[in-house]
Amino acid sequence: MGFFKTLKRDLDVVLERDPAARSRLEVILCYPGFHALLWHRLAHWLWKRGWLLLARLVSQLNRTLTQIEIHPGAQIGEGFFIDHGAGVVIGETTIIGNNVTLYQGVTLGGTGKEKGKRHPTIGNNVVISTGAKVLGSITIGDNVRIGAGSVVLKDVPPNCTVVGVPGRVVVRNGARVKPIEEIDLNHHLLPDPIAEAMQALQNRINSLEERLQELEKEAQHDKSLQYAK
């Protein structure tokens, strides 16, 4: 894809996924996520051609201007969108697929000082919510949603939702996977397994209390029990 087609695609992605964006001019002037992506494309171009120090300097300039840190070695696909963006960190060996959305405070990082592939691989049509951390050389499958504040340390299969610390997979059984043009950005509408378990326990307690009250009433009306020897 040529430079101008890529630029147009980057602009259209913001307009598609952010209802606050009103025009391409507004995106060009006011969106740090868009600015960060442009700077990263330059840094990555330099990185691939062996200008490593210059690429890092461009990356640092990007971080200073946008509060978004993307290592020049990171590979980013088409349709990438960072909403707001402050505090986003993307590590050197990260690979990001197409039509991925990140919110502020997301970290795609490593877990130690190991060499080689040490950052995550993100599939297509993935949404990673505010403050989530995806750490290590793991793979996040296509059509995955990761809830706000989650810490993901293991591979996630496609078509799943992840919540919690550490991240737990909640499979969307029987749910239709939305096509690209209908990427599910409702990252606030996620299941909570702990809350669901607590609710199930409360329901069970209520059921047992009702049964106990019924037995007490039966005992009060049964004279054979009242006057048993």
- Please give the structure tokens belonging to residue 163: 């919540």
Query: In this structure, are 96 and 10 located in the same domain?
Result: yes
Torsion, CA 149, CA 56, CA 44, CA 134, rounded to 10:
-20
Query: In this structure, are 99 and 134 located in the same domain?
Result: yes
Over the stretch 193-219, which tens digit does the pLDDT of each residue have? 666 678 778 888 888 888 888 887 777
Over the stretch 17-60, which tens digit does the pLDDT of each residue have? 888 889 989 999 999 999 999 999 999 999 999 999 999 999 99
Would you state the pLDDT for residue 155?
A: 93
Query: In this structure, are 113 and 90 located in the same domain?
Result: yes
Query: In this structure, are 173 and 211 located in the same domain?
Result: no
Query: In this structure, are 99 and 185 located in the same domain?
Result: yes
User: What is the count of structural domains for the chain?
Assistant: 2
CATH number where 137 lies: 2.160.10.10
The bridge status of strand 168-171 relative to strand 89-90 is unpaired
Query: In this structure, are 130 and 26 located in the same domain?
Result: yes
Query: In this structure, are 113 and 201 located in the same domain?
Result: no
Domain extent at residue 214: 192-229
Residues 161-175, buried b or exposed e (16+ Cβ, 10 A)? bbbbeebbbbeeeee
Which residues lie across from 169 on neighbouring strands?
162
Query: In this structure, are 37 and 139 located in the same domain?
Result: yes
Q: 158, 183, 178: which is closest to 169 by C-alpha?
A: 158
Query: In this structure, are 197 and 169 located in the same domain?
Result: no
Query: In this structure, are 67 and 86 located in the same domain?
Result: yes
